[in-house]
């Protein structure tokens, strides 16, 4: 790992470019709340104590209060410590949006364990890479979604000192708010017995019954200690872990609260409810829904299966959330549900769009139905994630991704490394307290500029009011329903097929997902078919990464030095 520039202390004053806009929207360029805070628990524990019996997370009819979350997370932290897992070691968490995720998340943070988020839909190839690269010593999985773990090679499984199995009883339809934490958790858990010969495997319910909150031993956690390894794609063709510290993540929580959290709460006496259809393993949901919700004392309404649009719309009808964060494709799916337009949106205070560009027609239709525009923002795994946001108070869709958050700077960089003029496009450079320390086990020499700006790979423009608009991507990343797909990873996988000579992958427009991958293939064996490649990819790549179409060509277009010209393929 290479040391990187210090991103924690940019200029104390708001850059003049967006000074007027900050004043116009009542924003302040300080994070005084972070003074004296060393880690996420310093930030969150006072809020957990304050909100006590209020609901922190709900899933259907089942709920966990802040008190219950506090106790359960201490129990989980005590379990980790009892297994000899020490501060700084990595635990992979491969869970969808269920109550146990919140307990595991907070328990890991308490114990100083580095949380490694893993998509539950990953194939065993993808899971093996992430476990091996992160050097994870534990894995948390959901029974029923554990096939990737089951298929792991023995040497990968051997590195795991503990595997925790979580389960959900699909028959649970009611929950009594007065039952004890243990009863509450156990009511959600069921499943097949664990092989007793594998002592490292344990049920989540067993942890909740056998370990106690007072067994947890507090650890000293500093600002620069890692909180997350958040995996994202890279030029090597394999995902790489963005090293996010406790300070990175808690700074972004406070930046988001300053940018839009206060405005959501203004003039409201009831508890804020934030709908959460986005997976908590994704950094957008992790910070904006999970941690910001705890910090604000909000109820995080978990949606385990957002593909069930009927269930999602019914959840909105039941809870009437104040905040709806989503991606363009899901906003569109909700709008096209026959029941959606008849719902009561009188409590809706903010609709947050991210992950991929929001289409103006969708935002306009959303505003017509709900009375609110979709406030679009910009973020990356490397920035914990939010970089900029269109603040509350903006009443018309503007096509930008908003103003930079507090205590940070954005510089538009030209090809020579200099600063672009207002209105001139260039690569977006980011400096701020939320910017990662670097990529895990990678050479970070080219990741930052000499003066400490993270090089995003996105092409953007700053206007005279300080609003950022993204105009292109320097990288060849494909955005499928808000998820990053990196062509190099897909290409590296497909070229493992014995009948493939070369592959190039690009993104093509798709009405449903925004973009989908398309593969151009040069055959090594003339008998190769697209059906063979489809089956091969299905076994090795998560669904959103798989090419939706294949084109066979005799030769890939390349530069004089052999670099594939994806632009020519487009």
Last residue of a domain, which of 409, 441, 470? 470
User: Which of 51-60, 174-183, 192-201, 370-379 bottoms out in mean pLDDT, i.e. has the lowest?
Assistant: 174-183
Edge-to-edge strand list for the sheet holding 114-117: 201-203, 162-166, 138-142, 90-94, 114-117, 226-232, 240-245, 438-439
Q: Are 189 and 266 in a shared domain?
A: no
Taking the C-alpha atoms of residue 566 and residue 570, their distance in angstroms, rounded to an integer, is 6
The DSSP element (H or E) to which 352 belongs, if any, is strand 350-353
Give me the domain span that covers residue 85.
Answer: 58-221
Examine the domain organization and report whether 287 and 421 are in the same domain: yes
Rounded Cα distance between 203 and 177, Å, is 24
**Who has greater pLDDT, 468 or 329?**
468
Whether the bond between 172 and the residue before it is cis, its omega within 30 degrees of 0, is: no
pLDDT digits (tens, 9 = 90+) for 450-473: 999 999 999 899 999 999 999 866
Packing angle of the helix pair 487-494, 530-540 (nearest 10 deg) = 110
pLDDT per residue over 470-507, tens digit each?
Answer: 986 666 778 898 887 878 788 888 988 999 988 989 99
Beta bridge mates, 92: 116, 139
Task: At 339, give phi and psi (nearest 5°).
Answer: -90, -20
- Please give the share of the chain, as a percent, with pLDDT higher than 90: 76
Within this chain, do residues 252 and 202 fall inside the same structural domain, yes or no? no
Verify that 336 and 462 share a domain, yes or no: yes
Return the structure tokens found at 478: 């494909």
Task: List CB contacts of 484: < 8 A, sequence separation 6 or more.
Answer: 232, 233, 381, 477, 478
- Give per-residue pLDDT as tens, 171-204: 433 333 333 444 444 444 433 333 433 457 999 9
Residue 259 and residue 405 in contact, taking contact as beta carbons nearer than 8 Å: yes
- Statement to judge: residues 80 and 190 lie in one domain: yes
Which residues on adjacent β-strands are paired with residue 523?
Answer: 500
Output the pTM of the full model: 0.85
Count of domains observed in the chain = 3
d(CA 326, CA 328): 7
Last residue of a domain, one of 419, 445, 470: 470
β-partners of residue 57 are 64, 300
Write phi, then psi, for 440 (nearest 5 degrees).
Answer: -65, 125
Same domain, 284 and 204: no
Structure tokens at 428: 């977006």
Nearest C-alpha neighbor of 281 from the set 163, 394, 145, 413: 145
- Tokens read off for 453: 């700006």
Is residue 388 within 8 A of residue 401, CB to CB? The reply is yes
**Share above pLDDT 70 across residues of the chain, in percent, rounded to a whole number:** 89
Query: Is 397 found in the same domain as 264?
Result: yes
Q: Which of 347, 389, 345, 388 lies closest to 367 in space, CA to CA?
A: 345
Give the residue among 255, 250, 295 at the shortest CA–CA distance from 405.
255
Same domain, yes or no: 207 and 277 = no
Tokens of 17: 């470019």
What residues contact 530, with CB distance under 8 A and at least 6 apart? 549, 550, 552
Taking the C-alpha atoms of residue 234 and residue 487, their distance in angstroms, rounded to an integer, is: 9
Q: Name the residue among 549, 475, 500 with its Cα closest to residue 237.
A: 475
Domain check: are 483 and 459 in the same one?
no
CATH number at residue 109: 3.40.50.980
Q: Are residues 13 and 144 in the same domain?
A: no
| pLDDT in the model for residue 16 | 66
We report the CATH number of the domain holding residue 494 as: 3.30.300.30
Judge whether 20 lies within some domain.
Answer: yes
Same domain as 442, residue 359 = yes
Q: Which of 442, 470, 498 is the last residue of a domain?
A: 470
């Amino acid at each position: 790992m290479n040391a990187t520039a210090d991103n924690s202390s940019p200029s104390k004053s708001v850059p003049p470019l967006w000074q007027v806009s900050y004043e116009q929207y009542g924003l302040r360029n300080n994070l005084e709340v972070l003074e004296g805070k060393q880690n996420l628990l310093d930030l969150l524990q006072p809020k957990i104590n304050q909100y006590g019996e209020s609901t922190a997370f709900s899933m259907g009819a089942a709920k966990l209060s802040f008190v219950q979350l506090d106790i359960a997370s201490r129990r989980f932290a005590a379990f980790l410590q009892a297994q000899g897992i020490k501060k700084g070691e990595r635990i992979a968490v491969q869970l969808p949006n269920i109550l146990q995720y919140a307990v595991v998340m907070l328990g890991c943070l308490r114990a100083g364990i580095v949380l490694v988020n893993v998509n539950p839909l990953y194939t065993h190839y993808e899971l093996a890479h992430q476990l091996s690269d992160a050097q994870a010593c534990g894995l948390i999985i959901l029974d029923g979604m554990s096939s990737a773990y089951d298929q792991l090679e023995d040497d990968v499984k051997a590195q795991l000192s503990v595997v925790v199995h979580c389960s959900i009883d699909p028959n649970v339809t009611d929950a009594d708010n007065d039952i004890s934490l243990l009863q509450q958790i156990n009511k959600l858990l069921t499943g097949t017995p664990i092989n007793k010969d594998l002592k490292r495997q344990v049920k989540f319910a067993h942890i909740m019954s056998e370990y106690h909150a007072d067994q947890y031993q507090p650890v000293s956690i500093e600002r620069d200690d890692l909180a997350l390894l958040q995996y994202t794609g890279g030029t090597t063709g394999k995902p790489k872990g963005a090293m996010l510290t406790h300070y990175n993540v808690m700074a972004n929580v406070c930046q988001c609260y300053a940018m839009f959290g206060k405005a959501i709460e203004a003039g409201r006496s009831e508890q804020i409810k934030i709908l959460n259809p986005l997976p908590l393993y994704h950094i957008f949901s992790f910070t904006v829904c999970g941690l910001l919700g705890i910090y604000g004392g909000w109820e995080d309404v978990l949606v385990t299966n957002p593909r069930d649009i009927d269930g999602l719309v019914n959840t909105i009808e039941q809870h009437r959330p104040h905040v709806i964060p989503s991606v363009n494709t899901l906003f569109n799916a909700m709008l096209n549900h026959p029941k959606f337009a008849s719902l009561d949106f009188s409590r809706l205070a903010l609709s947050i769009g991210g992950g991929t560009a929001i289409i103006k027609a969708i935002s306009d239709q959303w505003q017509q139905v709900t009375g609110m525009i979709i406030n679009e923002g910009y973020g990356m795994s490397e920035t914990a994630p939010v970089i900029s946001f269109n603040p509350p108070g903006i009443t018309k869709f503007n096509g930008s991704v908003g103003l930079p958050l507090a205590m940070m700077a954005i510089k538009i960089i030209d090809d020579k490394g200099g600063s672009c003029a207002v209105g001139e496009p260039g690569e977006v450079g980011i400096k701020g307290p939320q910017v990662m320390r670097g990529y895990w086990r990678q050479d970070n020499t080219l990741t930052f500029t000499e003066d400490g700006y993270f090089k995003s790979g996105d092409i953007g423009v700053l206007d005279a009011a300080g609003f950022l608009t993204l105009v292109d991507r320097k990288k060849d990343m494909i955005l499928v329903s808000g998820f990053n797909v990196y062509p190099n990873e897909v290409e590296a996988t497909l070229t493992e097929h014995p009948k493939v000579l070369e592959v190039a992958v690009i993104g093509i427009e798709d009405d449903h997902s925004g973009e989908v991958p398309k593969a151009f293939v040069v055959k090594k064996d003339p008998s190769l078919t697209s059906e063979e490649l489809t089956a091969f990819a299905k076994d090795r790549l998560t669904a959103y990464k798989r090419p939706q179409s294949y084109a066979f060509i005799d030769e890939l277009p390349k530069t004089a030095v052999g670099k594939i010209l994806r632009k020519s393929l487009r």
